[in-house]
C-alpha cells in the first residue's frame, strides 16, 4: 500500500467523519492543544472535554498557570485520574514562561526538553498545533499501522522506534497534509479500527488492509485485561487526595486515618503521594497539597 493511497483515503474519511472535539478547532492555541494531549493520556474523551474547557477558562496561557500554585493545578484536575499530570503541566507552564517567553515552542527538540513532555506529546503538539510533519504514534495509531501494513492484530504494549519509522513512511511529504494524516490515522484507530470490535465495513482502507486480507487473526497470547481499581493503592491515593483537595489548610494525620482502614496500605499510599510530589508534610502531624501555602517547616 502506497503512502498516497493510505494517507489520502484516511484523510478524506477524517474530513467527513471526524468527531467535533473542541481542541481540533482552528482557533485553538498551541497551549490549549498541549493541555488536551496531556489530559487525554489514559483518560476517555468524554471526561476530558469538560475538564479541558474549565482548565482553559481559568488558565488560558502558560503564564496564567505558572502564576498559580501546583496545589491549585491538582485541585483543578479533579478526578481525571493520574493527578501527577497536573503537576507536570504546571512545571511545563513554568518552563515555557522561563525559557520561551510564555509561548509554546514550535521546535521538536524544545518541546521534548519541557518537563513532562515525552515523545508522543511533543510530536502531537508539533503536528497538531504547528502543522509539522512528524509521526504521532499512540496506541490507536500503532494498531492501525500494524494491522493495515503488517497484517498483525496487535502492536504490543509500548511504542518502539520501528513504530515511528513505519508511521512516518505513510505520511505525505507536505507538512500540512502529513499533520492531517496523523490526526486521521489516530481517529481511525479510536473509532473504527478499535482493539476489540473493529468496524471494518466502515474503514476507508479496508480493501487494502493486510490484516483483513489475512483473515483477521487474533492476537497470540493472553488478552490484556483492564486494570483492577477497587481496593488498590490507586484507590486509596485517590481517597487521600480527595480529602486534601477539599481542605483549606493542612490536614491532620488523624483525619487521613479515617479514609482507609488498612493502616499499612494507607501509609504506603500516602508515602507514594509525597514521593510523587503531590503532597507534602507540614511538621510531624499534618499534610497538604504541594505548594499549598508558605514553605512547609522542616520536620525535626
Half-sphere exposure of 2 (CA within 13 A, CB side): 4
State how far Cα 214 lies from the chain centre.
33
Nearest to 11 by CA among 240, 250, 186, 222: 186
Residue tagged active-site, from 37, 152, 187, 280: 37
150 C-beta neighbours (distance < 10 Å), count: 14
Please answer whether residues 14 and 184 qualify as being in contact, where contact means their C-beta atoms are separated by less than 8 angstroms. Answer: yes
Please answer whether residues 49 and 37 qualify as being in contact, where contact means their C-beta atoms are separated by less than 8 angstroms. Answer: no
239 C-beta neighbours (distance < 10 Å), count: 15
> Does 37 participate in catalysis according to the annotation?
yes
Please answer whether residues 161 and 137 qualify as being in contact, where contact means their C-beta atoms are separated by less than 8 angstroms. Answer: no
* Alpha-carbon distance values, 292 to 106, 126, 249 (Å): 32, 33, 8
Catalytic residues: 37
Amino acid at each position: 500500500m502506497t503512502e498516497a493511497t493510505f494517507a489520502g483515503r484516511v484523510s478524506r474519511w477524517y474530513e467527513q467523519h471526524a468527531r467535533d472535539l473542541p481542541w481540533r478547532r482552528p482557533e485553538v492555541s498551541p497551549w490549549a492543544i498541549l493541555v488536551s494531549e496531556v489530559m487525554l493520556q489514559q483518560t476517555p474523551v468524554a471526561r476530558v472535554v469538560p475538564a479541558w474547557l474549565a482548565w482553559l477558562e481559568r488558565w488560558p496561557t502558560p503564564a496564567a498557570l505558572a502564576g498559580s500554585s501546583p496545589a491549585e493545578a491538582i485541585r483543578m484536575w479533579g478526578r481525571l485520574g493520574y493527578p501527577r499530570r497536573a503537576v507536570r503541566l504546571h512545571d511545563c507552564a513554568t518552563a515555557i514562561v522561563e525559557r520561551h517567553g510564555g509561548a509554546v515552542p514550535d521546535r521538536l527538540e524544545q518541546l521534548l526538553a519541557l518537563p513532562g513532555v515525552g515523545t508522543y506529546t511533543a510530536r502531537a503538539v508539533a503536528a497538531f498545533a504547528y502543522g509539522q510533519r512528524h509521526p504521532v504514534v499512540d496506541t490507536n495509531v500503532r494498531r492501525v499501522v500494524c494491522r493495515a501494513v503488517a497484517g498483525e492484530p496487535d502492536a504490543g504494549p509500548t511504542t518502539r522506534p520501528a513504530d515511528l519509522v513505519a508511521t512516518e513512511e505513510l505520511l505525505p511529504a507536505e507538512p500540512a497534509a502529513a499533520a492531517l494524516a496523523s490526526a486521521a490515522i489516530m481517529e481511525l484507530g479510536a473509532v473504527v479500527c478499535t482493539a476489540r470490535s473493529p468496524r471494518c465495513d466502515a474503514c476507508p482502507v479496508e480493501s487494502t488492509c493486510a490484516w483483513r486480507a489475512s483473515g483477521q487473526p487474533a492476537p497470540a497470547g493472553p488478552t490484556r485485561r483492564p486494570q483492577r481499581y477497587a481496593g488498590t493503592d490507586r484507590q486509596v491515593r485517590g481517597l487521600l487526595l480527595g480529602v486534601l483537595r477539599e481542605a483549606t489548610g493542612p490536614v491532620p494525620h488523624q483525619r487521613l486515618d479515617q479514609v482507609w482502614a488498612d493502616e499499612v496500605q494507607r501509609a504506603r499510599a500516602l508515602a507514594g503521594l509525597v514521593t510523587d510530589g503531590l503532597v507534602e508534610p507540614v511538621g510531624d502531624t499534618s499534610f497538604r497539597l504541594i505548594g499549598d501555602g508558605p514553605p512547609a517547616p522542616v520536620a525535626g
